[in-house]
Structure 1
Amino acid sequence: MERKKRTIFWIIPIAILGIFFYFFGPKDTITDNEYIDYMKASALTSDSQLTTEAAFSKVCEKGGWEYFETKMFERVVEYKGKCTVEGKLEPVNVQFIVEKDKSSHLIGAMLVNSVQQTDEQRDAFIQTMHK
């Protein structure tokens, strides 16, 4: 009887870890989603006639779109690609926070070569896409 108790004490923690990993572990990348479609078709900024997809295709190459939700249940669409920044081709990530009803979006964080940019640098990059 003593041996069975020890076995159960090993099985229960392993099962708990397995369940935790299943629910909170890494998720598959979502690359086809209604929020991604919304971002591609929406205007980059409120004063722009250019869609987000067209704007990125002007200055970027080898780009892709991903969707994920944060722990605060924000819906984030992220563009990843190689874009021309200050005359050089750099890896760029730009995040857009999309409202649940897809009525509007905010431009979130921007990384260039894995370094987060300031809001001013991000806005300057977005303005170069209008030219």
Structure 2
Amino acid sequence: MTLGQHIRVLACVVVMGCIVGYVLNASEIETDSPYIDYIKAAQLPFTEEQYIGDVFHGYFELTHWEYFTARQGQHVVQFTGTHGEQQLVFQFIVAKDRSSFELGAIKQNDIVLTSEAKWAYMKQLAAIQKESKAG
């Protein structure tokens, strides 16, 4: 990809992130937060030795992390990144005390994935990361 294409992709990712945040009625958005640190250090579902931050930064390009509190009071960590021609947005709903999280929405190329599709995607990420470490 050319530099111009990278810039267009990044702009699209940022816009998608803002749109998804708006849908959840986000309050102030932060890019440096203990909630982001918690998700980066959390284990990827279906694994015991793979951490979300490592997997995402090893697989995606043009990555960006954000934290915001939704008007409903939910603590949301949002990750945006690209892989090839795909643009993805992941949202994690984090407990106030950062003791647990739920996988929220995943948006792939402007399409919100179904519950089954988002878990299948997470399993695929875990498998790809495991293969890359073994090989």
Unaligned runs of 5+ residues in structure 1 are 1-25
Whether the aligned pair in 1 keeps the contact of 2:44 and 2:51 (CA below 8 Å) is: yes
Aligned to 2:29: 29
Structure 2 CA distance for partners of 1:27 and 1:105, relative to 1, 3 Å: closer
CA distance in structure 2 between the aligned counterparts of 1:79 and 1:59, rounded to whole angstroms = 13
Report runs of 4+ in structure 1 exceeding 3 Å deviation: 26-29
Q: Deviations over 1:56-112 (max 9, x none)?
A: 1232111110001111100000000103xxxx5311000000000100000000101
**Tell me, which stretches of 5 or more residues in structure 2 are unaligned?**
1-25, 128-135
Q: Contact 2:74–2:94 (CA<8 Å) still a contact in 1?
A: yes
Instruction: State the one-letter code of the partner of 1:74.
Output: Q
Aligned length: 103
Alignment partner, residue 110 of structure 1: 106
What is the alpha-carbon distance in structure 2 between the residues aligned to residue 106 and residue 46 of structure 1? 13
2:82 paired with 1:82: yes
Q: How does 1:1-131 map to 2 (within 5 A)?
A: 29-45=29-45, 47-83=47-83, 89-131=85-127
- Conserved 8 A contact 2:27-2:71: no
Q: Could you tell me which amino acid in structure 2 is paired with residue 39 of structure 1?
A: I
CA distance in 1, matches of 2:45, 2:71: 26
Identity within the alignment, %:
31
Q: Return the offset for 1:46.
A: 5.7
Checking the alignment, whether the CA contact within 8 Å between 1:76 and 1:95 is kept in structure 2 is yes
How does the TM-score come out when normalised to structure 1? 0.72
Query: Scaled by the length of structure 2, what TM-score is found?
Result: 0.70
Aligned-partner SS, 2:43: coil
Which is greater in Rg? 1
Determine which structure has the larger helix proportion and give its number.
Answer: 2
Tell me the C-alpha RMSD between the 2 structures: 1.9
CA contact (8 A) 2:29 2:66 kept: yes
For CA contacts below 8 A with separation 6 or more, give which structure has more relative contact order: 2
Does the 8 A contact of 2:47 with 2:126 survive in 1? no
1:19-78 deviations in whole A, cap 9, x for unaligned? xxxxxxx86531000100111111122643211011112321111100011111000000
